[in-house]
């Protein structure tokens, strides 16, 4: 989950992805199911025990930041189920429903769809990539837009 990595490391690639959103270089869609899942993950006692920086205040501040910088959308219809991990369905189906170019994740179930021929044929405009690859693609696009091809 990129959001989790971003809150845990403010200098890593996941945080850089959110920074692009905050600076209006990219648009990120979010829905109530994703916000609820993010809240559940960030409030897990075992995670809080490992990451002492995840205080109630920090989690509340991060959730507020995320909801303010993202485009709110209703929960998507589930057109592509993920039986192995249904919690990932909102991320994938929101991306499909809004015809986004990228779904940025480190989740292996989601990333594995990039190697699924049937999925790629059904959704050719959706790239499921890890944060470093997304950052690379955005930098290329920005350079192209500025004429530095």
- So where are the chain's domains? 2-145
Q: Which residues pair with 103 in a beta bridge?
A: 128
CB 130 within 8 A of CB 1: no
pLDDT at position 38 is 93
pLDDT at position 149, please? 65
Q: Which tens digits make up the pLDDT trace of 3-35?
A: 988 988 888 999 999 999 999 889 999 999 999
pLDDT of residue 146: 80
CB 19 within 8 A of CB 66: no
Does the domain at 2-145 match CATH 3.40.50? Answer given as yes
* DSSP 8-state secondary structure symbol assigned to residue 58: H
């Amino acid at each position: 989950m990129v959001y989790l990595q971003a809150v845990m490391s403010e200098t890593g690639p996941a945080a850089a992805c959110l920074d692009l959103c905050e600076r209006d270089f990219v648009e990120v869609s979010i829905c109530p199911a994703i916000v609820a899942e993010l809240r559940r993950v960030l409030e897990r006692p075992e995670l809080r025990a490992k990451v002492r920086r995840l205080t109630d205040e920090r989690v509340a501040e991060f959730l507020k930041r995320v909801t303010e910088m993202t485009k709110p959308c209703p929960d998507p219809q589930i057109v592509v189920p993920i039986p192995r991990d249904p919690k990932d369905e909102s991320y994938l189906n929101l991306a499909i429903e809004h015809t986004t170019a990228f779904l940025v994740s480190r989740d292996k179930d989601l990333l594995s769809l990039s190697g699924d021929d049937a999925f790629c044929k059904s959704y050719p405009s959706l790239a499921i990539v890890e944060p470093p690859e997304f950052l690379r693609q955005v930098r290329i696009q920005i350079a192209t837009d500025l004429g530095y091809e």
